[in-house]
Amino acid sequence: MTRSAPQLIHHGLTTCEGCSMEIIARAMMRVLGPRTIVITPPSCSAIITGYGRETGWMVPAWQSNLENVAAYAAGIRTGLEVTGQEEINVVGFAGDGGTVDIGLQALSGAVERGHRFIYICYDNEAYMNTGIQRSGATPKGAWTTTTPEGKREGKKNIIGMLLAQGIPYAATASAGFVDDFERKIAKASKIDGPSYIHALTPCSTGWRFPASQTITMSRLAVETGVWPLFEVKDNIVHITHKVKELKPLVEYLKLQGRFRGLHEDEINAWQEQIKVNYTAFLDKEGKSWLC
């Protein structure tokens, strides 16, 4: 959609080879353009924000704490409103740990107050920057350094929580469907209130797969029904990528070292759950999220 738009993130960053967080960040900036202020917390996204006087962003960028990306975004937006600069985009760009766990209070508060800002959670399903610790977004069964036998709990449904709060726009995205992500960013930037996009960003370092497989992994998550693509605007659901025939879950799992410890019966149970959930999901098209 916006391949010819100017790049607003410098090259030569020290993210890992094939990092899909960087792919998503670059796409986000192609859509939002130079009239944008970015806030990142401590995380792999801070690799873009940089240290001292050097930054990879070619727009104003701010490094917050892990707890308060959304509070910074809300404050910056309020300042822009007071000074009459309302056309500037304000975007929080945070990882899953900084979103579903440590930054949740600030996010929930900013959404409740209705500030106009875009919040992107790039979800690599663990605290990667500090050494692959489990987060609330890590899926059940996944190995991390703090779940050496596989995580016992399931993934937190943050989109459901924000929609329950009445957020006007929320969507999922995947680094393997960049056009879909870009359309959602464009929509989010037009919302007169808070908007939230949760992008699955496979991480070869933490998920234990070859870096060359990043896009394959991002697409397989969607094609197996593990990560459905949809948006909810003003409480109405729109499925943005329908999968006619789901690929077997095992195609997604077998490429990742973090699921090596899963037993066959656990994989079968997960597969069955996906089938049930995906049928219910397809039935949601055009309907209210909160029935």
Site residues (vs ligand SF4, CB under 6 A): 15-16, 19, 21, 44, 124, 128, 203-206
DSSP secondary structure, 42-87, as one string: SSTTHHHH-STT--SBSS-EEE--TT-HHHHHHHHHHHHHHTT-TT
Task: State in angstroms the smallest separation of the CB of 192 from Mg ion.
Answer: 30
Of 85, 130, 145, 268, the residue at the interface with ligand TPP (CB under 6 A) is: 130
Residues 6+ apart with CB under 8 A from 155: 125, 136, 137, 138, 139, 140
**Residue 261, CA atoms < 13 Å, CB-side half-sphere:** 14
From CA 22, how far away is CA 233, in angstroms rounded? 26
Size of the site for ligand TPP (CB under 6 A): 18
Instruction: Give min distance, CB of 14 to ligand SF4, in A.
Output: 8
DSSP SS3 for 126: coil
Binding-site member from 44, 162, 163, 167 for ligand TPP (CB under 6 A): 44
User: Contact between 23 and ligand TPP (CB under 6 A)?
Assistant: no
Structure tokens at 149: 């036998």
Which segment (82-90, 94-102, 150-158, 175-183) binds ligand TPP by CB under 6 A? 94-102
Q: Which stretch binds ligand TPP (CB under 6 A): 37-45, 53-61, 150-158, 221-229?
A: 37-45
Q: Given candidates 27, 37, 66, 167, which one binds ligand TPP under the rule CB under 6 A?
A: 66
- Nearer to ligand SF4 by Cβ, of 62 and 209: the residue is 209
**Cβ(108)–Cβ(74) below 8 Å:** no
- Which pairing describes strands 169-174 and 194-200: parallel, antiparallel, or unpaired? parallel
Closest to ligand SF4 by CB, 89 vs 129, is 129
Residues 31 and 40: their CA atoms lie apart, in Å, by 18
Nearest-CB residue to Mg ion?
95
Q: In what side-by-side order are the strands of the sheet with 36-40?
A: 61-63, 36-40, 89-95, 117-123, 194-200, 169-174, 229-233, 236-241
Between 129 and 195, whose beta carbon lies closer to ligand SF4? Answer: 129
Instruction: Return the structure tokens found at 75.
Output: 């404050």
Nearer to ligand SF4, 44 or 76 (CB): 44
**Least gap, CB of 141 to Mg ion (angstroms):** 17
Residues facing residue 61 across a β-bridge: 38
What are the helix and strand counts (H, E) for the chain? Answer: 10, 8
Among 18, 56, 92, 98, which residue sits at the site for ligand TPP (rule: CB under 6 A)?
A: 98
CB of 126 to ligand TPP, least distance (A): 6
Q: Residue 105, interface with ligand TPP (CB under 6 A)?
A: no
Which range in 8-16, 43-51, 173-181, 240-248 contacts ligand TPP by CB under 6 A? 43-51
CB of 174 to ligand SF4, least distance (A): 15
Q: Which residue has the tokens 């409740």?
A: 112
Binding residues for ligand TPP (CB under 6 A): 42-45, 66-67, 94-98, 102, 124, 127-130, 135
